[in-house]
Amino acid sequence: MAEGDKIVPELLQEGVPVKEVYATAAWISTHRTLLDRTPGVRVTEVDEHVLKQLSALTTPNQALALLDIPAATDITPGSLKGTVSLALETIQDPGNLGTIIRIADWFGIRQIICSPDCVDAYNPKTIQATMGSIARVRILESEILPFLQQAGVPSYAATLHGNDITQFSKLEEGIILIGNESRGLSDAVIGASTHKITIPRLGGAESLNAGVAAGIICGRLLI
Amino acid sequence: MAEGDKIVPELLQEGVPVKEVYATAAWISTHRTLLDRTPGVRVTEVDEHVLKQLSALTTPNQALALLDIPAATDITPGSLKGTVSLALETIQDPGNLGTIIRIADWFGIRQIICSPDCVDAYNPKTIQATMGSIARVRILESEILPFLQQAGVPSYAATLHGNDITQFSKLEEGIILIGNESRGLSDAVIGASTHKITIPRLGGAESLNAGVAAGIICGRLLI
């Protein structure tokens, strides 16, 4: 379920196979042209009271969409050659995961591997935090180690004790790895990575938010 | 009011003038040595039920501290020479503001100017999101334009239509400007800045979260 006046049109525009839309009469009227262009979608007019009952969020929107979770089974270790991917281990906060998906979309990363113990990428809070980017970034839930061992591309594990990120040049292919909000990446994943990277610290903070760290790393390695 | 098992010790350790601490017996016992080193602080033992009533957060902690908001009146346009500062215009979300304070602390920025219509930096949600960095970064609430006009240092306004941030070399002094979550910086602030900077976009996302953008910019300009 994707909720939001902004994300529902974005899903439709990007051609994500939406099955149903529940929305207010005003929303349907505003988006009539778009809905006419996507004839497979069943649209049901509901009032705000019903939307509030359907919503998983504390602040309901004018529209929500139901869609099948896109299969991402074609994301295999072999498919990562020549591209930059993100792999996330045990990200727990839906807002952080959504923020990271949005960062990936900004920097043109098209696929993210989420370890099975990450928060669900299709949690309504995650979807909302992606601000529509969930329509453009594909998510595979999978163990990460096989990708590190079989993809044959360099991998960059974010840790507090790696090599200064400013020493790396712009990536053309590879897997960027971000770990849990408080514990970081597991030793197994760090050990299997070809590079350990660290954002140098000039001040007093003990750590950075996982989404911010992902952004800074992408901002150094991808542009 | 600062809440949290981590932030209260951090405030005490950094010598922030805390007036009172309310905490559980277990917390006081664990932090006995630290409390003995800060004799001016009045400590009151309360049970979790009382803490819950005192707390402004949905998930109360084992300890909270009361402190005067530090005066920051010595942050003047003239004082910014030779340092890097951050100026925030109309940041509305307490979590974003807290995240940005934490980023500033990581990169060694010691002062932030917040426009008067920013969310309160001493809002309990903001303080919690700083993860203790509020103890090390000083915040001045002030109009931003006088700083741009009188500080005599370069200024870097984050916009969607500026110069590619990768073209700038490492800053030794200057003011980095971040604007409102949806509208960005005002035209007046952009116009008064010496540089307009943009994080190049490679993919489809329309924008980045304000905290993430601040992190990426610091990660390019300060390290």
Do the Cβ atoms of B136 and A218 come within 8 Å?
no
The CATH classification of domain A2-67, taken from the options 3.40.140, 3.40.1350, 3.30.1330, 3.40.109: 3.30.1330
Is there a contact between B215 and A215 if contact means CB atoms under 8 Å apart? yes
> In sequence order, what are the residues at sequence separation of 6 or more whose Cβ sits closer than 8 angstroms to the Cβ of residue B170?
B221, B222, B223
Would you mind telling me the total number of residues written for chain A in this entry?
223
Looking at chain A, the domain(s) classified CATH 3.40.1280.10 span: 77-221
Residue B57: which pLDDT band, with cuts at 50, 70 and 90?
Answer: confident
Residues of B within an 8 Å Cβ radius of A: 99, 102-110, 131-133, 136, 164-166, 199-209, 211-213, 215-220, 222-223
Cβ distance A122 to A71 under 8 Å?
no
Interval B156-165: pLDDT, tens: 999 999 999 9
Chain B neighbors of A166, CB-CB under 8 A: 223
Whole-number Å distance between alpha carbons of B148 and B146? 5
Q: What is the average per-residue pLDDT within B46-72?
A: 86
Q: Which residues of A touch B213 (CB under 8 A)?
A: 215
- Mutation for testing the A interface, residue in B6, B106, B167, B222 having most A CBs under 10 Å: B106
The minimal CB distance from B212 to the residues A199, A205, A215 is found for A215
Q: Where in chain B is the domain with CATH 3.30.1330?
A: 2-67
Q: What is the DSSP letter of B83?
A: S
One digit per residue, pLDDT tens: chain A, 223 residues?
Answer: 888 888 899 889 888 889 999 999 999 999 999 999 988 899 999 999 999 888 877 777 899 999 888 888 899 999 999 999 999 999 999 999 999 999 999 999 999 999 999 999 998 889 989 988 998 999 999 999 999 999 999 999 999 999 999 999 999 999 999 999 999 999 999 999 999 999 999 999 989 999 999 999 999 999 9
User: Which of B111, B216, B218, B221 is most worth mutating to test chain A (most A CB atoms within 10 A of its CB)?
Assistant: B216
Are residues B212 and A208, on separate chains, in Cβ contact within 8 Å?
no
The encoded tokens of residue A55 equal: 């919503």
**Amino acid residing at A12:** L
CATH topology of domain B77-221: Alpha/beta knot (3.40.1280)
Q: With CB atoms and an 8 Å threshold, state whether B211 touches A209.
A: yes
Share of chain B above pLDDT 70, in %: 100
Distance CA A163, CA A200 (A): 9
Specify the pLDDT at position A57: 77
CA distance A207 to chain B (A): 7
Choose, out of A208, A218, A222, the residue to mutate when testing the contact with B (most B CBs < 10 Å): A208
* Each residue's pLDDT tens digit, B198-219: 999 999 998 999 999 999 999 9
Tens of pLDDT, residues A38-69: 888 999 999 999 998 888 777 778 999 998 88
Out of A138-142, B13-17, B68-72, give the one with best mean pLDDT.
A138-142
CB distance B203–A132 less than 8 Å? no
Q: Which residue has the higher pLDDT, B4 or A197?
A: A197
Closest to A100 in 3D by CA, of A220, A223, A221, A218: A218
- Shortest Cα distance, chain B CAs vs residue A2, angstroms: 17
Q: What is the side-by-side strand order in the sheet with A42-45?
A: A2-3, A63-67, A18-23, A42-45
Q: Which of A166, A205, A215 sits opposite B216 (nearest CB)?
A: A215
**Is the CB of residue B11 less than 8 Å from the CB of residue B41?**
no
| Cβ contacts from A onto B, under 8 A | 118
Q: What's the ipTM?
A: 0.91
For an interface test with B, give the residue of A133, A181, A201, A209 to mutate (most B CBs within 10 A): A209
Residue type, B91: I
CA gap B43, B28 in Å, rounded: 8
Tokens 């200064």 sit on residue: A164
